[in-house]
Each structure stands twice: as C-alpha cells, then as structure tokens.
Amino acid sequence: MNCEKSIKAFQKAQVVIPGGVDSPVRAFKSVGGTPLFIKKGKGAYLVDIDGNKYVDFVQSWGPLIFGHADKTIEKAVIKAVKNGLSFGAPTKVETKLASLICSMFEGMDKVRFVSSGTEAVMSAIRLARGYTNRDDIVKFEGCYHGHSDSLLVQAGSGAVTFGTPSSPGVPSDLTKHTLLAKYNDIKSVKKCFQNSKNIACVIIEPIAGNMGFVPADAKFLEELRALCDKHGALLIFDEVMSGFRASLKGAQGVYETKPDLVTFGKVIGGGMPVGAFGGWAEIMDKLSPDGPVYQAGTLSGNPVAMSAGLASLEKLIAHEGLHVELEVKAKRLVEGLKSAALAEGIALQVGAIGSMFGFFFNDKPVKNFDDALTSNTKLFAAFHQGMLKEGFYFACSQFETGFISSVMSDEMIDETIEAAAKVFKEIK
C-alpha cells in the first residue's frame, strides 16, 4: 500500500498544525503508521490522496450513517448554501429540526443547538448546575464527553472519588467538583452520593463508545435513575455517539430508563458541525434569554448545518427498520471477526447494538474501563495496520467504536471477515 503522499502531507501539516491534526485521535498515535490524508468519500468508501480505497467503518466517528456524499443530504446542503451560509439570526429550519427531535423523545420538550458534542455537554452540565444550584457532577471512568474542563478528569488518588485533571491546563479547583464512578457499578455511584450532598447531575454514555464499545447493563441504568431521583440530581444521557445510531431513538430506544437531559452530536448534523442538548421545559427554560443560565454560540443553529441534520433525520425516520437491518450486519461482522480470530487462537470480546459495534483483544468480558485497559492494544494496532493494507478502515484505537452505514452490502461484510482471517493469521 503506497502512502507516499500522505507521509509528505503529514510532514507538511505538522509544521503548521499541532501534531499535524485538528483532533488528537486522528494522528494514529496508538496504532502507529502515518495518518491517511483523505481525498474523498463515496458511499461506503474512503479514498486517500495516494488513491488507496477503503471500506470505512469510522464514518467520521459516527455522523455518516448514510455513508459519504449522500445525495439527499448533499442536495439539502446545496439548496441551503444558495440562500447564504449564516445569519446569526433565527431561521425556520432550526424550529423544524427542533420540533422533529422533540417529537421523537419522551421528556424532550425543548432542545438547543450548538456546534459540537463538547459544547452540547458543557452547556448541559452548566444548565444542570444552574437548575439544581449545586456544583458537583458525577461521570464514569472511561466515558468521554468532549474536552470541556470539568470533564477532562481522571480518578483521584486512593479511595476518594473526587477527580483530578487528566490534562495540564485544567485547574484542580474545577475538577474537584467532578466525582468519578465505575461504569456498570451502582455501588461506586452510591459512594459518590455519600461523598457529596452537592451533586447537580450524573452524566453517562448509556452505550459507552469511548472506552471501546461497552453497553450499560439495563438494571444499572434503572438503579442510576432511582439514585438520581432519591438525591434530586439530574440524569444526563450523553448520546452524542449512540444517538440515532443504537436505534432510531439511540439508547432510549434500547433501554427503558429515561434521562432528564440528553446531549446529541454527530448524526444530528448529517456530517456538518452540530451538537444539541434538550430535555424537560422546566429545566430548559432556565437557559438565557428567558432564564439566568448563560449559553450562546455564533454558529449555533447554522442554517446549512441544520439543513444537513434535518435531511439526515428525515431520511432515518423514512427508512423504517433501518437500525434492525444494520444491527444484523453489525452482529454478522463481529461474530465473523470473533470466529476468524479464534481460528488463530486470538480471543476477541465483541458486541453490537444497532449500527454500533466493537471488539476487544481480550479473553475476558469488558464491563468497565478497568476491564477495557487489560486489552491487548499491541495486537489491536497490528490488526488495524493489517486491515488498512487489505483496504478496510477501522477506528485507530482499541478504545473506540465502529459503525455500519446503510450503504454497506453483505458482500462488504463478508470481504471484511475474509480479510480479517488473513490478518489474524499474520499477526498471531
């Protein structure tokens, strides 16, 4: 596989962009090799600047459920662009997309748009703090909610559950208000509520995608809901990744548990920069200008991005049962990978819900971040590189999630499994 042009492009990028990328995971640090510079996407495929073609299981980290350059979304964007790119004033398309989203979810009276998942989560956290008049929040080890300060937190030292900064530049004065719990472990959450009577909210990825693919246990979510109710804390579902991916209604279409606030991103923008957060009117009405909780954004609700998101969601709603079809493909893929690996004595833990899937190079089930960290990341890296050579583009980290798009054929799934069998033989 010739990557000459990507190698040169990466060297050039590193001169003027930190790390040569605008988001760290893209640098291929945990898998090695040079990040591929992409020339174009078409349907299920990516084509890099050296002309190599790949079946894309990343889909821009989730947004592209209809694959690249979807005609419906493209048409909506071009139509919107012809009326201008941005006004900084309300447009009807924002109300249309907001109404559609609110109609899809119980407890979603109102929604506000922003330009990224990070912004959606940061705003939802501030709103929860403003609504409850409490400062502390609970998050789970291994869950990623974007890079706002309060959420760049790692487990504190010893038994204390209070967080410490996971990045320089984040003041410990901030992270001391973030308590850490263990995913799928209700006792660890109870401990947080024992350590603080000042908890505004608990935020969780109900189907975690940022420690690798780790769905929550249904019972755990129910107990989490009950605990929040008992202590007057809000429950926030971060569905930036699982939203419209796990089912048409994201994790809320998979589990019974209902949150107080939900954050969205990725699919909701159809590939354009959109985030959103929403929930009960009683909470959302605390937001400026009607309420005291300040939150704003120059390009929030950008009409071109809204048009892409609206086209994407309308297409999803029109395609009855799409997520069931995609789950069949996702399950066939991961089961195929698991058997192909086993044939070479490699243990894989696999999972899939709707159009999301994941696999760990691990001989034990993965229920939380500690489990995930015992995975064989070297073997993952070798698999990733081997599959690139075979023309298959997987997420460049063991601690990410894969996606099936509507334009992936059964043949592509079969070809992926065949290629994986070859790669497992090479890397075992």
**C-beta separation of 262 from 105 below 8 A:** yes
Instruction: Choose the catalytic residue: 139, 182, 191, 266.
Output: 266
Chosen residue from 13, 55, 93, 121 binding ligand KE4 by CB under 6 A: 121
**266 catalytic residue (yes or no):** yes
**284: contact with ligand KE4 by CB under 6 A:** no
**393 catalytic residue (yes or no):** no
Chosen residue from 118, 178, 295, 368 binding ligand KE4 by CB under 6 A: 118
Which residue's Cβ has the minimum distance to ligand KE4?
117
Burial class of 168 by CB neighbour count within 10 A (0 to 12, 13 to 18, 19+): exposed
Give the end-to-end CA distance of the chain in Å, rounded to a whole number.
21
Chosen residue from 20, 43, 130, 146 binding ligand KE4 by CB under 6 A: 146
Closer to ligand KE4 by Cβ: residue 260 or 400: 400
Q: Mask: binding to ligand KE4, 191-210, rule CB under 6 A, as x and -?
A: --------------x---xx
Q: Which of 143, 106, 110, 142 is nearest to 124 (CA)?
A: 110
Question: Phi/psi zone of residue 133: left (φ > 0), alpha (ψ -120 to 50 degrees), beta?
Answer: left
Q: Which residues have CB under 8 Å from 256's CB, separation 6+?
A: 218, 222
| Amino acid, single-letter form, for residue 351 | G
Q: Mask: binding to ligand KE4, 2-41, rule CB under 6 A, as x and -?
A: ---------------------x-x----------------
Q: Mask: binding to ligand KE4, 57-86, rule CB under 6 A, as x and -?
A: ----x-------------------------
**40 catalytic residue (yes or no):** no
Q: Which of 324, 283, 329 is nearest to 133 (CA)?
A: 283
* C-alpha pair distances (Å), 117 with each of 25, 145, 192, 338: 16, 7, 25, 32
Q: Which stretch binds ligand KE4 (CB under 6 A): 112-120, 192-200, 290-298, 303-311?
A: 112-120
- The SS3 of residue 248 is coil
Contact residues toward ligand KE4 (CB under 6 A) are 23, 25, 61, 116-118, 121, 144-146, 205, 209-210, 238, 240-241, 265, 275, 400
Catalytic residues: 144, 238, 266
